[in-house]
Amino acid sequence: MTLEAGGCGLPIYYHHEGAADLVKHIINGLIVEAGNVDHLTRALRRMADGGTLRNDFAKKIAQDGERYL
């Protein structure tokens, strides 16, 4: 699912236990602590308020996902 979302240029929110080789925190997405609602809320707000951050992450994750094709 992460690879498909990245390939579509969507920003990724993920927890440490998954997709560690694809998602790089603050480079192409945000890694959040699993089960931590406050952490997820902060990450969602950061993306919503981040200006170009969401688009920058989306472009980078799409590029990084190409290595899996």
Domain residue extents for the chain: 2-68
Specify whether domain 2-68 bears CATH 3.20.20.70: no
| Amino acid making up residue 46 | R
Average pLDDT score over residue span 4-32:
72
Cβ neighbours of residue 3 closer than 8 Å, sequence gap 6 or more: 19, 22, 65, 68
pLDDT at 19 over 60: no
pLDDT recorded at residue 38: 94
What pLDDT, in 10s, does the model give residues 24-63? Answer: 888 888 888 888 899 889 988 988 886 788 889 888 888 8
Asked if residue 2 lies in contact with residue 62, where contact means CB atoms within 8 angstroms, the answer is: no
In this structure, the chain runs to a length of 69
The β-bridge relationship of strands 13-15 and 30-32 is parallel
